[in-house]
A and B are shown apart, each in its own frame.
Chain A
Amino acid sequence: MSNHYYNATDLGKFGNITDFQKEAGEKFFAWYGEVFKDSALSAREKSLIALAVAHAVQCPYCIDAYSSDAYEKGYSEEQMMEAVHVAAAIRGGASLVHGVQMMNKVKEIAM
């Protein structure tokens, strides 16, 4: 067992998850492939969404994969960083909006 949690070369082994559960794994990859196809949204737009989401879920593998993919698909550095800001803004906003819950609670118990 390796003594660290993330290893860049593991990204290339992603396909091997079907080794332990073939059917579910294959269904995931088929679905994944379908999701990223050109459709109502282009594969290119989906790549930028994936880049933002990768930052929101903080998955280093996805950040690696979609930084390359979005850049290769012709997004500028500026566009990519703006996508990251969108993810960050939603994350920040999501925390902050719970502040209302906090305020509600405080008001409930405060004199």
Chain B
Amino acid sequence: MKRAGFSTKWMPILLLMPQLVIIAIFFYWPAWHAIQSSFYLQDPFGFGSTFVGLDNYTDLLGNSEYRRVAIFTLVFTVLVTFFSLAIALLLAVKADNVLRGARTYRTLLMWVYAVAPPVAGFIGLIMFDQSWGPLTRLAGVFGWDFVLGVNFNDTAAAMVLVSVWKQIPVNFIFFLSGLQSIPRSVREAALIDNRSATGRFWDVTFPLLAPTGFFLLIINITYALFDTFGIVDTLVKGEPGNNPMTLVYKVYVDGFRGNDLGGSSAQSVILMVLVLALTIFQFRLIDRRIHYT
């Protein structure tokens, strides 16, 4: 195979420069600042700062509230990722089989994608209103006294529900195109070998969807960890109280509301390390087991 090459080594560097500069300015520089200020306690106005070493980190790790938020974030991420992938896959498989009216069905499912997270949160706020929310009333029918914003578990349930609802369309689009790219011949061959639709799905379709699924898994974990911020903020109305919150939201609460720049920076650094570890783990361990066509 012939490889295209450059005659000088400066040309590729020059061509890469704009991208590298952008990465440096918008990622490495702020990241470096976050790491630096995580070792200091700073007056918000910038008049004084005291070097405190690892105090900001030890304060966090020794804080039972921080652990509680971390555990909630973990549970929340697992639930959101699992349900938004599973439901989207189910819908995609069903949509793939529909012959008539397929376009309408798909368009309707994709619509939700256009809803911004705070708007999704606001819809959740209306649906779960304590006195007249339709979903609160529905829960009441089953004897569930749903009180959003008062009960920790109820608020958590609403957060998961809204986040899953918001994420399903993206997953659906990817799964559907993944399904449609499976060659017809493979499906026909499978039809001869196995008469059970469920069996065919798990033995043939699912493994062939694995690359898509792997990609979506990463996207969904990042979504649950970071992009649900707007939903969390809207559902707790900016006043978390005893309601659940995610790690990213806590960075905001302590840093932007509370003006605790050092503590908030330490939390950001912990999140950066977490994402780094997650990425390495996924690409090193899981990527190898997946077969890309």
Do A and B belong to a common assembly?
no
- A contact residues vs B (CB 8 Å cutoff): none
- B contact residues vs A (CB 8 Å cutoff): none
